[in-house]
Amino acid sequence: MHSINFQLNSHLTTLASIHKIHHTLHRLNLTEDVGQDSHPSGNTAAGLLSCCSRAMPPRKKRRPSAGDDMSAKKSRQDSVYRKHDTSQIREEETFSSKRCLEWFYEYAGCDDVVGPEGMEKFCEDIGVEPENVVMLVLAWKLDAQSMGYFTLQEWLRGMGSLQCDSTERLRNSLDYLRSVLNDSTSFKLIYRYAFDFAREKDQRSLDLNTAKCMLGLLLGKTWPLFPVFNQFLEQSKYKVINKDQWCNVLEFSRTINLDLSNYDEDGAWPVLLDEFVEWYKERQMS
């Protein structure tokens, strides 16, 4: 009897130690949740049997069927695919300076500037004619200093501000660039920028032919008097347009009525516009 009691006490001590270890591991989140029936229920017989079952060698688990293997494998694959798709979308949505740099050298070749030949290919790729006004807006966004050229620094700075690092992204931004012209403040900035952008850098004025082209680009579709103003320039004595004249033409187009009825000849308009008004009124009378 003494031997039986000793064995029973020893066995209960072992079970208590096992339970204490399991409880500690559970608090450290090192064990799996084995369900409600796996926890001993205090001093009941079911609780004692539960502890005893842990001390016994585990039964062999049922071998998963082929269907189980395929289901688990598919679940893991779906998880991997979802992570891959998410990272790919995130990468595609994020501007990449490296990708932008590689895009630049597609047109610059071995140089650090996109010249006329590369610019022609660039316009072809984005589906825009070189003389389209949207190219002027793009140049303004890049703060390009010379017409027909984009330097590496201008490209990276400007395309970075637009968050464009590929042809596709820029094509998707063309509508936005066109819409910038509808904002009067931005249009005025672009108009003033166009003068310095188009003139020869060793000249303070814009030659007349270039000025007419740029005026047609910027005002041709929005200023009804542009066709007659263009005719006036063609028959005039002027060979160049200076910065003051250029800026006043925009102000004239925005503030003066189509019949010129509110034009003040004693105002601070340049002589160029005084002569245009006089020429136009004489044409109307004749």
Question: What is the overall mean pLDDT for the chain?
Answer: 80
Under the banding of pLDDT at 50, 70 and 90, the label for residue 89 is: very low
Q: CATH 1.10.238.10 in the chain: give the residue spans.
A: 97-182
d(CA 31, CA 37): 15
Mean pLDDT of 133-147: 97
Q: How confident is the model at residue 265 (pLDDT cuts 50, 70, 90)?
A: confident
The architecture of the domain spanning 97-182 is Orthogonal Bundle (1.10)
Read off the pLDDT of residues 40-57 as tens digits, 9 standing for 90 and up: 334 433 333 333 333 344
Amino acid at position 191, single letter: Y
Which carries the bigger pLDDT value, residue 180 or residue 30? Answer: 180
3-state SS string over 186-197?
HHHHHHHHHHHH
What is the mean predicted confidence (pLDDT) over 241-262? 97
* CATH 1.10.238.200 domain locations along the chain: 202-285
Bridge partners of 151? 113
CATH number at 202-285:
1.10.238.200
Position 59 pLDDT exceeds 70: no
Helix pair 97-108, 116-126: axis angle to 10 deg: 120
| Strand-pair category, 240-241 with 150-151 | unpaired
Q: CA 187, 189, 191, 194 torsion: positive or negative?
A: negative
More confident position, 136 or 29? 136
Give the count of alpha carbons within 13 A of 75, CB side only: 6
The answer, yes or no, to whether residue 3 has pLDDT greater than 50, is no
Quote the pLDDT of residue 67: 53
Q: Taken in order 44, 45, 46, 51, is the CA torsion positive or negative? A: positive
pTM: 0.68
Give residue-wise pLDDT tens across range 204-227.
999 999 999 999 999 999 999 999
